Amino acid sequence: MIYLDHNATTPLRPEARAALLAVLDAALGNPSSAHGAGRVARAALEKARRALGAALDVPAAAVCFTSGATEANNLALFGALPVPAAAHVIAAPIEHASVLAPLRELQRRGARLTWLPVDAAGRVRVADVEAAMTPATALVSVGWANGEIGTVQPIAEIAALCRARGVLLHVDAAQAFGKVAIEVGCADLCTLSAHKLGGPVGIGALVARRGVALRPLGWGGEQERGLRPGTENAAGAAAFAAVVTERPLGGGVAALRDRLWAAAAALPGVTRHGPEHDGLPNTLCLSVVGLAGEAVVAALDLEGVAASVGSACAAGSGEPSPVLLALGCDAATARGGVRFSLGATTTGAEIDATAAALQRIVERMRGVGASRAAAG
């Protein structure tokens, strides 16, 4: 199988696996317990927190471990806006569902929402963020990178603006982390996930700047400073820490991605979505006019190539991609999106085989469409 769905999840890296198993084997206690076995687990957890803090250049105390990015996004948005009725929130319309759905729920509870305009490549402009701000603006939420089309946002500039205006900034960095260099500390609240960069599923973090008042989503324990009740996942945290120092994806991945795009662009009716050059180095989102993305992805799967229709969290729904709709695509095009996301281990031979498979599939499907048109 050729795995080109690294934005959905990545294979577990050996060092993450080793760290995971080491803590599972050695730390049989509960990190909160007052005995030796508990202290072993607690030591592993706090070591992981320090490692994460050091790698991200933030205080270890700023790291709140969660079950992943979805929980971290929920904790950031609901936790930072305890009284949504009074709050004005500014957000990008191309966020992951775990940001969009909480925002809609906050809206239902009375928050006022302003959606930022995005250009055809999905980019947010700092000037638009500034223009959207009012004295009531409590929070801005913009993802660092979009996992579906690869757009990378100007977070440093947005952070400077928010700091100057005294507005909280939440950044979902789950898709940027590990792929491009990011400065987590510039946001007040930053969402991270381990399994997008070789860590295990089930561990992520919300990095909260000191002084940001947060309320927990649930109650039942004092773990993670009371923000995240429940027995801590020390083994997951250790595995997360084991991959956090990985260098971002290099130019080699971008070159392979560009090679795949060059081959795909030669096919008739293929459109690319997202930025061509300044986006995530591993992401290519395209659609073929007249073809359903779910059919292309299934046909690729039958050829042994794993790709995705937009975000994995929306696969199988048949709904047009909200991200592509926000870019101005019509509904048919927005149902046609196919995402290839490469990883550090992707090879040139895999890219060439994928390009050949895509060509076979597009030609076959165009033949079906032509015969249907002739019959109809």
Would you put residue 328 in left (φ > 0), alpha (ψ -120 to 50) or beta? left
Could you tell me the smallest distance in angstroms from the CB atom of residue 359 to another protein?
Answer: 14
Of 54, 298, 313, 325, which one interacts with another protein (CB under 8 A)? 298
Instruction: Give the pairing of strands 204-208 and 137-141.
Output: unpaired
Alpha carbon distance 89, 105 (integer Å): 12
Stretch that binds another protein, among 25-33, 42-50, 174-182, 363-371 (CB under 8 A): 363-371
285 catalytic residue (yes or no): no
Could you tell me the smallest distance in angstroms from the CB atom of residue 338 to another protein?
Answer: 13
Could you tell me the smallest distance in angstroms from the CB atom of residue 50 to another protein?
Answer: 42
Q: Which residues contact 214 (CB under 8 A, 6 or more apart)?
A: 75, 76, 79, 80, 189, 208, 227
Give how many residues touch another protein by CB under 8 A: 16
Stretch that binds another protein, among 66-74, 85-93, 220-228, 292-300 (CB under 8 A): 292-300
Pick between residue 131 and residue 302 the one whose CB is nearest to another protein: 302
Stretch that binds another protein, among 66-74, 182-190, 236-244, 294-302 (CB under 8 A): 294-302
312 contacts another protein (rule: CB under 8 A): no
Alpha carbon distance 358, 207 (integer Å): 40
Of 52, 94, 171, 292, which one interacts with another protein (CB under 8 A)? 292
Of 278, 301, 330, 363, which one interacts with another protein (CB under 8 A)? 301
Answer for the pair 155, 144: CB distance below 8 angstroms, yes or no: yes
Stretch that binds another protein, among 42-50, 159-167, 198-206, 286-294 (CB under 8 A): 286-294
Alpha carbon distance 357, 345 (integer Å): 20
Residues in region 333-352 near another protein by CB under 8 A = 335
Could you tell me the smallest distance in angstroms from the CB atom of residue 315 to another protein?
Answer: 9
Alpha carbon distance 305, 307 (integer Å): 6
Could you tell me the smallest distance in angstroms from the CB atom of residue 299 to another protein?
Answer: 5
Could you tell me the smallest distance in angstroms from the CB atom of residue 311 to another protein?
Answer: 16
Stretch that binds another protein, among 127-135, 182-190, 226-234, 314-322 (CB under 8 A): 314-322
294 contacts another protein (rule: CB under 8 A): yes
22 contacts another protein (rule: CB under 8 A): no
Map tokens 């790291």 to a residue.
Answer: 63
Instruction: Give the pairing of strands 204-208 and 63-66.
Output: antiparallel
Answer for the pair 170, 158: CB distance below 8 angstroms, yes or no: no
299 contacts another protein (rule: CB under 8 A): yes
By C-alpha distance, which of 131, 135, 104, 97 is closest to 116?
131
Pick between residue 251 and residue 316 the one whose CB is nearest to another protein: 316
CA 302 to chain centroid: 27
Distance (Å) of CA 72 to CA 61, 63, 64, 162: 16, 11, 9, 20
288 contacts another protein (rule: CB under 8 A): no
85 burial class (0-12, 13-18, 19+ CB within 10 angstroms)?
exposed
Of 135, 211, 268, 316, which one interacts with another protein (CB under 8 A)? 316
295 contacts another protein (rule: CB under 8 A): yes
Give the helix/strand (H/E) hosting 38. helix 36-56
Residue 169 φ then ψ, to 5°: -120, 120
291 contacts another protein (rule: CB under 8 A): yes
Positions in the binding site for another protein (CB under 8 A): 291-292, 294-295, 298-299, 301-302, 316-318, 335, 364-365, 368, 372
Q: Which residues are catalytic?
A: 313
